[in-house]
Chains A and B, each alone.
Chain A
Amino acid sequence: MDPIILGIAVVNGVIVGGLYGAIALGLSLIFGVMRVINFAHGSFLMLGLFIPFWLWKLFGVNPYLAAVVAAPALFGIGYLIQATIIAPLFKRERAMVLEPLSVLLLTAGVGIMLDNLALMTVGPDFRGITMEFAAKALWIGTVLNINYTRLIAFLVSLAITVAMSLFLARTDLGRAIRSTAQNRDAAALCGINVPRVYNITFGLGCAILGIVGCVMIPFYLVSPAVGLAFGIRSFIVVVLGGIGSIPGSILGGLILGVVESVTAQFVTATSASIFSFVIFILVLFFRPTGLMGMKV
């Protein structure tokens, strides 16, 4: 195997892996704090892709600028869904611990509902934006080229991860979220409004998807059906990296991206996914909390 080709494959894998990590970030956060397995995660990403698309289609708004609309919009949608649909389930369960199965079914239902609402309103077709500079690439030497829009997506993903870590570590709200994740009863005793923290966490997890959607739409076609594939990938990333761990999410994403990209050079791309799932199973087997996960 030509080392240059291998090198390029690794670079491609890192670029796409960073994106996977950012997408999975919200999922990791939501589960870490609330023990909610959000099966609707992919569907929220689908919304996060549609908002910049429609803003571009109807008003000609540059997708990168659309983030100022998409992120708050998705925060709002996430907050609302958590507050109105999932929170009642919390109230019914004693000690605010949810039966894994019931919340899983609930979020899966939300996901199906969102997918089909989208299908009903906009139809099934794949839609993409056309941007002049979307077809340009950064060339390193004569063989390695990285598409600018994908590079930007990667850099934004890293930025989101760093921003999230800083937010959780340094701000009061971030600390409140972390303490709720550690022990919700103790947090409540300290005067933290736990239900509000849950709502905000869910909203944040979805807001990230709003930003990610804006940087993805320049090179990714959106349709109501794209939610599922991303939902599944996010789960692999979260399990690999560790639930509740922010750096773990990026690490998991990078591992997944690189493994897929490198193995695709040796076997067909369809078979390459097998390796990702094999690693997934091995990690679950030997280190169920993930590479950097906290003990559940």
Chain B
Amino acid sequence: MRRMLFVIGLSVVALVLSSGLALAGEKVDEVKIGGVLSLSGMAANQGTQTKTGAIIAADEINAKGGIPALGGAKIKLFFGDSQSKPDVGASETERIIQRENVSVLFGAYQSAVTTVTTEVAERYKTPWLVTGSVADIITQRGFKYTFRPNNKAIYDAREQLDAIKGLTQETGKGPKSIGILVEGTDWGKSHATNLRKLAKDMGYEIVLDEAYSPGTMDFSAQILKIKSRKPEALVIAMYTPDHIVFTKQTYEGKLDIPFGIHSVGAGSEDPNFYKAVPVQAVEYMFVQEDFQIDITEVADWTKPIDKKFREMLGYELTSYGAQGYSAIYTIYDVLQRAGSVDKEKIREAFTKTNIVSGPALIMGWQKIAFDQDGQNLDAHGVISQNLKGKRTSIWPLANRPKGIKPVWPIPAWKDR
């Protein structure tokens, strides 16, 4: 009996002590932030770029003395590699939450992975800041701990179709039919679903609607189908390796699409893609950019970030690098208002976010605020066209530089 009481007493003491350690005080030495990203596999490039952007931001903040509201606490980043696979992403999320006891997580770029990792974070009541994932479902599940600053898939689709419609109105010529070719995981499929919905409302006929399995290295069959169905505009959603193969094959096969190929990003926002394909192959291609690609030309404060990025990876700041950078500064803003590393207080602070200036807006958005589903309603992208080897913003009109005229319709290969 006495022994049992002793053991019970000891356990109670142990419990109290450990919970005391968990209850963070106002002054802490460091705040732990976890990042689960595709550092290997088919989305490795984008994941690595996001990680680099995050590291640059964290280093900047730590160099300036850490987080003032937490007594100068330094940011400590813990990264997990999802290997571009949802199940691995989920187990990495669990590992980081349990092992490192992080206060907040960000990631995971791929929609297929983020959909799953946010569920894990929700179960562990840990706030998750989404980077790069657009699948609509991520902010449509009534989750309390998921916050997305970037576009939903439906916005991406809407921007692409708005650009097509806008150019049609501007020039009087436009496509009547659309073809859709997407990669077969959550991202591609949700984009296709949204395109179908919006295209129908806008009066376009969908003559091709294809998804291909990830890892496809030969698009001969799909390109043949495109040639036989003859869509007047083609919308594609591809990661880097598949985009490289597809673009090369459209160039070899001299595929003519009167109103162009409209790529919704990922592969076409990756510098490694542009290094691997001949420059003539991407001419006139439209890209839905997640961020303002010429931001380093219009905003001087981004130049040192671009320089650091180039030092670390060897190429210019990309949308994904900017997403990582923006994520850390958004979390910084949240921590400043939370004044604590307690996850509940951080979650509270997230819901009240209202960023209208500062480094978190490197993406080119005007505001970061989250609605009751955790979605930032002010997120938007920019449509660019590849003119003479340079991606130039052409839509919305407000983002089009002076003197730039988009090429519409697209000249056939024999006329180039």
Q: Do chains A and B stick together as partners?
A: yes
Query: CB within 8 A of B211: which of A16, A261, A268, A273?
Result: A268
Mark the stretch among B6-14, B139-147, B222-230 that contacts chain A.
B222-230
Interface string of A132-175 (1 = CB under 8 A from B): 00111100000101010000000000000000000000000000
Interface string of B334-378 (1 = CB under 8 A from A): 000000000000000000000000000000000000000000000
B220 at the binding interface (Cβ < 8 Å): yes
A12 at the binding interface (Cβ < 8 Å): yes
B224 adjacent to A9 (CB under 8 Å): yes
B252 adjacent to A268 (CB under 8 Å): no
Q: How far is the CB of B225 from chain A (nearest CB, A)?
A: 6
A260 adjacent to B221 (CB under 8 Å): yes
- State the CA gap A146–B244 with chains docked (Å): 18
B210 at the binding interface (Cβ < 8 Å): yes
Number of interface residues of B (CB under 8 A): 37
A124 adjacent to B41 (CB under 8 Å): yes
B407 partner residues in chain A, CB cutoff 8 A: none
Q: How far is the CB of B258 from chain A (nearest CB, A)?
A: 17
Query: CB within 8 A of A135: which of B44, B241, B251?
Result: B251
B245 partner residues in chain A, CB cutoff 8 A: 219, 221
A12 adjacent to B221 (CB under 8 Å): yes
B225 adjacent to A264 (CB under 8 Å): yes
- State the CA gap A288–B95 with chains docked (Å): 46
A269 adjacent to B221 (CB under 8 Å): yes
A2 partner residues in chain B, CB cutoff 8 A: 228
B390 at the binding interface (Cβ < 8 Å): no
Given A135-B281, A229-B215, A270-B212, also A128-B222 (CB < 8 A):
no
B276 at the binding interface (Cβ < 8 Å): yes
- State the CA gap A223–B43 with chains docked (Å): 12
- State the CA gap A12–B278 with chains docked (Å): 23
Given A16-B218, A270-B184, A273-B213, also A265-B225 (CB < 8 A):
yes
A130 partner residues in chain B, CB cutoff 8 A: 276
B42 at the binding interface (Cβ < 8 Å): yes
A220 partner residues in chain B, CB cutoff 8 A: 217
Given A143-B227, A147-B249, also A261-B220 (CB < 8 A):
yes
Return the chain B residue nearest A228 by Cβ.
B215
B240 adjacent to A264 (CB under 8 Å): no
Return the chain B residue nearest A130 by Cβ.
B276
A77 partner residues in chain B, CB cutoff 8 A: none
B83 at the binding interface (Cβ < 8 Å): yes
- State the CA gap A212–B210 with chains docked (Å): 30
Q: How far is the CB of A1 from chain B (nearest CB, A)?
A: 8
Query: CB within 8 A of A225: which of B41, B221, B240, B252?
Result: B41
- State the CA gap A220–B244 with chains docked (Å): 10
A104 at the binding interface (Cβ < 8 Å): no
A126 at the binding interface (Cβ < 8 Å): yes
A223 partner residues in chain B, CB cutoff 8 A: 41, 241
A109 at the binding interface (Cβ < 8 Å): no
Return the chain A residue nearest B45 by Cβ.
A125
A269 adjacent to B216 (CB under 8 Å): yes
Given A16-B218, A268-B211, also A147-B40 (CB < 8 A):
no
Task: Tell me the residues in window 198-254 of chain A with beta carbons closer than 8 Å to chain B beta carbons.
Answer: 219-221, 223, 225-226, 229
Q: How far is the CB of B341 from chain A (nearest CB, A)?
A: 33
B241 adjacent to A265 (CB under 8 Å): no
A119 partner residues in chain B, CB cutoff 8 A: 40
B389 at the binding interface (Cβ < 8 Å): no
Q: How far is the CB of A71 from chain B (nearest CB, A)?
A: 22
Q: How far is the CB of B113 from chain A (nearest CB, A)?
A: 14
A5 adjacent to B227 (CB under 8 Å): yes
A69 at the binding interface (Cβ < 8 Å): no
Query: CB within 8 A of B224: which of A128, A135, A265?
Result: A265
B42 partner residues in chain A, CB cutoff 8 A: 126
Query: CB within 8 A of A147: which of B215, B217, B252?
Result: B252
Interface string of A105-135 (1 = CB under 8 A from B): 0000000000000010001111010100011
Given A123-B40, A260-B221, A265-B224, also A270-B276 (CB < 8 A):
no
B241 adjacent to A136 (CB under 8 Å): no
Query: CB within 8 A of A124: which of B40, B248, B276?
Result: B40
B210 partner residues in chain A, CB cutoff 8 A: 268-269
B253 at the binding interface (Cβ < 8 Å): yes
A192 at the binding interface (Cβ < 8 Å): no
A145 adjacent to B225 (CB under 8 Å): no
B405 at the binding interface (Cβ < 8 Å): no
Task: Tell me the residues in window 1-54 of chain A with beta carbons closer than 8 Å to chain B beta carbons.
Answer: 2, 5, 8-9, 12, 16
Known: A9-B224, A219-B245. 19 other contacts (CB 8 A): A5-B224, A12-B224, A119-B40, A123-B40, A124-B41, A124-B44, A125-B45, A130-B276, A219-B248, A221-B241, A225-B41, A226-B215, A229-B215, A260-B221, A261-B220, A265-B224, A268-B212, A270-B212, A272-B221
Complex A-B: 21 CB contacts under 8 Å: A9-B224, A16-B218, A123-B40, A124-B84, A126-B244, A128-B276, A135-B278, A137-B252, A219-B248, A220-B217, A221-B245, A223-B41, A229-B215, A265-B224, A268-B211, A268-B212, A269-B210, A269-B216, A269-B221, A270-B211, A273-B213
